[in-house]
Amino acid sequence: MSSKTLKEADRVMTICNACRYCEGFCAVFPAMELRRTFSEPDLKYLANLCHNCRGCYYACQYAPPHEFRLNIPRALAELRQETYRESSWPQAMKGFFQNNGLLVSLITALSITVVLLLTLLFQGHDVLFSIHRGEGAFYRVIPYAAMVVPFTVLAVVVIVGLGKGFVNLWRATGGTTEDLMSGSAHRQAIADVLKLKYLDGGGYGCNYPDERFSMIRRYFHHTVFYGFMLCLASTTVAFFYDHLLHRPAPYPFWSWPVVLGFLGGLALLVGTGGLLYLKQQMDREPATPETLGMDVAFTVLLFLTSLSGLLLLCLRSTALMGTLLAIHLGFVLGLFITMPYGKFVHGVYRYAALLKNAVEQVREKI
């Protein structure tokens, strides 16, 4: 890990610990106040606990142009980015976080091209561009095995990769096995995630995209999170319909898989579109340029995956269904491949930091 990044994080935290003007802003400052000095695990923990609400930057009397030039959001974001590389599994993939936006774009484009070409090659022009209706229509374009087996294997790889990354970060931040097994800490961390507690600025909201307080970023994050969970629920219900009830897709609009997927897709479109707009409008000074491409690429990929899924739903009874199915699966394939090596990991690693924070809070009450 870069000594320069660590030294800057240590410098800003040391000054902040002496000042403590921002102690009520978020979880970082109460956690910081439990320490007199900052070890490398401490700094990695604080960096991932930061939700980038930016309140500390705009409130700080030592922010630029002051000679101390404190820029906590940028310092912690740079360190957070390095923890992503350091914690990734396998380590051979850590370079994926460099130029991540370009790589995600190339992999997604390649995934769409491969799915389209393979479908055209093995199924033929007549199948791809014909009208297919009724149960099993999707499988007449892309066979069951070709659709299920690759995504099942990828899902396992993604879960293992994210799980190993979580464990690597947990150890890197000084977490213990005993703390990891704490049920009360997990309950508190899950509650903090579900409420996005540390994006509310103590009730006033984030200073995002500029110095004004606003809840809009929190609302868009909520929309993305719960939209993603609705889509996951839709896929899970569809799995049971297909494999237990022997009812293959596509399903009627008022069926559970379609309703859940439709609502989830709309929520993702609104949330990701809103976040992209805020990203365009945001103040660049508290941001780190290295992460901008990664953030935008992941958000755009989620947006296009949702959009292609909704278009497939609306046009599934037309001759466009085959092409839209291949394109949608290409976006999903790109999302799966890049998930453990892009912006998605921030949710997993932030949960690890929130869990450690919950453990510390419990100990302070004893």
Rounded average pLDDT over 282-307 = 94
- The confidence score (pLDDT) of residue 295 equals 96
C-alpha distances (whole Å) from 338 to each of 17, 82, 111, 205, 227 are 37, 17, 11, 31, 19
* Distance, CA of 336 to CA of 231 (rounded, Å): 14
Q: How confident is the model at residue 205 (pLDDT cuts 50, 70, 90)?
A: confident
Side-chain half-sphere CA neighbours of 129 within 13 A? 5
Distance from C-alpha of 315 to C-alpha of 303, rounded to nearest angstrom: 18
**Mean pLDDT of all residues in 39-61:** 95
CA atoms in the 13 A half-sphere facing the CB of 96: 22
Sign of CA dihedral 215, 221, 224, 230: negative
- Of the CA atoms within 13 Å of residue 352, those in its CB half-sphere come to 30
- What does the pLDDT look like over 13-24, one tens digit per residue? 999 999 999 887
Residue 129: per-residue pLDDT: 93
The model's confidence at residue 2, banded by pLDDT at 50, 70 and 90, is: low
User: 98-127 pLDDT, tens per residue?
Assistant: 899 999 999 999 999 999 999 999 999 999
How remote is the C-alpha of 364 from its chain's centroid? 30
Contact, 310 vs 266, CB < 8 A? yes
- What's the chain's average pLDDT? 94
Give the C-alpha separation, 116 to 82, whole Å.
36
- pLDDT of 364 reads 78
Phi, psi of 139 (to 5 degrees): -70, -20
Average pLDDT over residues 240-249: 91
Give the pLDDT confidence of 52-86 residue by residue, as tens digits. 999 999 999 999 999 999 999 999 999 999 999 99
pLDDT band at 366; cut points 50, 70, 90? low
Q: What is the pTM of this model?
A: 0.94
Q: Tell me: cis bond preceding 90? Omega within 30 of 0 counts.
A: yes
Write the secondary structure of the chain as one string of H (helix), E (strand) and C (coil): CCHHHHHHHHHHHHHHHHHCCCCCCCCHHHHHCCCCCCCHHHHHHHHHHCCCCCHHHHHCCCCCCCCCCCCHHHHHHHHHHHHHHHHCCCHHHHHHHCCHHHHHHHHHHHHHHHHHHHHHHHHCHHHHCCCCCCCCHHHHHCCHHHHHHHHHHHHHHHHHHHHHHHHHHHHHCCCCHHHHCCHHHHHHHHHHHHHCHHHCHHHCCECCCCCCCECHHHHHHHHHHHHHHHHHHHHHHHHHHHHCCCCCCCCCCCCHHHHHHHHHHHHHHHHHHHHHHHHHHCCCCCCCHHHHHHHHHHHHHHHHHHHHHHHHHHCCCCCCHHHHHHHHHHHHHHHHHHHHHCCCHHHHHHHHHHHHHHHHHHHHHC
Q: What is the mean pLDDT of residues 287-299?
A: 93
| pLDDT for residue 135 | 87
- pLDDT above 90 covers what percent of the chain? 91
Band (40; pLDDT cuts 50, 70, 90): very high
Residue 291 reports pLDDT greater than 70: yes
Provide the pLDDT for residue 365: 74
